[in-house]
Amino acid sequence: MDYENFERQVNLRRKMNEGAAKLCHGNGGFGGPGIYMGQGQMDRHSHNRHFPKDVVKSNGNKGGGSPRQVPRKWHSRRERQSQKGDNSAFGYDSDDSSLSSNASGSNGSNKSSEIGNVGKRELGSSGSGTISREWRARNRRDQRSRRITPDQILSGPYPFQVKFTPDDLLNGSNWDNLSQEIWDKFIKSQQTEDTFHKKMNLWRYLFVTVKSIFPRYGLYVVGSTMTGFGLDSSDMDLCLYVRAISHVEPRALALLHLDYILSYIRSFDPYAELIQAKVPILKFRDAQAGVQVDLNCNNVVGIRNTNLLQGFSRADWRVRPLVVVIKLWARAHRINDARRRTLSSYALTLMVIHFLQNGAKPSIVPRAIDVFNEMTPRSQNRTSLGELFVQFLQYYAEFPYSQMAISVRAARRIPITECRHSPADPHQWKYICVEEPFDLTNTARSVYDPEMFEKIVTAFRQSYTRVSACPRLAEAWPAAR
């Protein structure tokens, strides 16, 4: 081989590439990591750069290969796979790879698609000295690697259980006793690592079994199990994903598939029940794990809002204890059950977050879009946990329910008339209006009975009156009457 001619052709190719808006893989064909070169980068990285002759000699096979005892001069490619999302909602392969990317908390797939159309690149000249390689699109490979399996979760540390008291829990104010009581109740009631692992093992078993019967199904863990707002007694929420059929109404399709699953579930839980609500739910219990499961079909908005709520739970240390204690408070007042025409846990969580956006001054958490984009600067609000609890009760004791809706998306109150102009059903905006940040529906539409609405508002008013007079957590509970 004529090495001088080879170097001359490489230099000629480099000059031809100067100024070109091409994206090349800088691997050089000799193995090992490389860099990506764009417009204006080719000359900077390869000025006076020649391929050593001993490298070319050692590369006698035309397919390339890694040379021996030759130091690499290539720059290391930056790691493009996101290290975030280890604690996000997750699932195995399904029919929709984009859904799997959303479920794993990944928001970098668009960046991959920008370079996904790059095909084969070739350096060198035609003939025996040609060095060629193929650079493949990274889209689908990145999405697969971002999915988190239950084995990864089970082998890693549990990220949600809090074991240490924050330094600024107490500030010497009159609310310190209440703050300490709220924190103690949160620590006692939060989802433990043992419960979390039981849920993950059950999810793994269900997926493997269901997948063996229905190979094209996907199964995702959503809800409070993955957001950090879960109680140790909370149910596990699962989303069964199947391909939509154009000529079949979504609710009918969900009922069809859940009915298929029901016949299998009843083999270990004969009391499993298919609730034919607007969003059908298959409820069953695994006696061995002691876990109650709510399984929906194709309610994919739950995957997105799981990732969003997880972001809110990390925005400030006061968010999680406040949400958990409000859930316990609502449960004690029997206003935390959508099937009994009161508030769902999801609606209550959005109400707490909205208060921290709009009721607390200055705000403690930002808008939903900022949390989704991970732009959550530290809040300047230093209000204690106990005082925030009282302010939350006051905020909703005095809220103008007949005129305004609660919006986490906008981080403010919005007129109900504005909500009724959205694509969602205008008749669902009745007594309590809590906007779902993704599909703009009313997450509190279960409160359609005026008697139940009055019961909810009364609980806020009476609890606020008693706790503001005597700042003890027991005063907010119905047993204190």
Residue 59 in contact with residue 65, Cβ under 8 Å? yes
- Give the domain extent around 63: 3-78+108-146
Per-residue confidence band for 12, with pLDDT thresholds at 50, 70 and 90: low
For position 11, what pLDDT does the model report?
59
Per-residue confidence band for 214, with pLDDT thresholds at 50, 70 and 90: confident
> Does residue 92 sit in the same domain as residue 210?
yes
Per-residue confidence band for 52, with pLDDT thresholds at 50, 70 and 90: very low
For position 322, what pLDDT does the model report?
97
For position 147, what pLDDT does the model report?
59
> Does residue 408 sit in the same domain as residue 376?
yes
The residue-averaged pLDDT of 232-241 equals 93
Per-residue confidence band for 391, with pLDDT thresholds at 50, 70 and 90: very high
> Does residue 345 sit in the same domain as residue 461?
yes
DSSP result, 380-398: -----HHHHHHHHHHHHHS
> Does residue 131 sit in the same domain as residue 39?
yes
For position 36, what pLDDT does the model report?
34
Residue 40 tokens read as: 């204006």
Q: Name which of 292-306, 417-431, 436-450 the model is least confident about.
A: 417-431
For position 154, what pLDDT does the model report?
75
> Does residue 251 sit in the same domain as residue 389?
no
> Does residue 481 sit in the same domain as residue 442?
yes
Does residue 438 form part of some domain?
Answer: yes
> Where is pLDDT greater, at 116 or 146?
146
> Does residue 225 sit in the same domain as residue 243?
yes
Radius of gyration for the chain, computed over Cα atoms and rounded to the nearest angstrom: 28
- Residue 273 pLDDT > 50, yes or no? yes
Residue 122 tokens read as: 């070739």
Say which CATH number the domain at 176 has. Answer: 1.10.1410.10
Does residue 83 form part of some domain?
Answer: no
pTM of the model: 0.70
Does residue 477 form part of some domain?
Answer: yes
- Amino acid identity, residue 305? N
For position 279, what pLDDT does the model report?
86
- Residue 284 pLDDT > 50, yes or no? yes
Query: pLDDT tens-digit profile of 15-50?
Result: 544 444 333 333 333 333 333 333 334 343 444 444
For position 217, what pLDDT does the model report?
86
> Does residue 332 sit in the same domain as residue 361?
yes
DSSP result, 217-278: -EEEEETHHHHS--BTTPPEEEEEE----TTS-HHHHHHHHHHHHHHHHTTT-TT-EEE-SS
Nearest to 306 by CA among 318, 296, 321: 296
Say which CATH number the domain at 226 has. Answer: 3.30.460.10
> Does residue 184 sit in the same domain as residue 196?
no
Query: pLDDT tens-digit profile of 309-338?
Result: 999 999 999 999 999 999 999 999 999 999
For position 7, what pLDDT does the model report?
56
First to last CA, the chain: 96
Query: pLDDT tens-digit profile of 191-213?
Result: 999 999 999 999 999 988 888 88
**Cα separation values, 57 from 4, 53, 68, 72, 186, Å:** 13, 6, 11, 15, 68
Q: What percent of the chain has pLDDT over 90?
A: 51
Per-residue confidence band for 366, with pLDDT thresholds at 50, 70 and 90: very high
> Where is pLDDT greater, at 375 or 55?
375
> Does residue 240 sit in the same domain as residue 182?
no
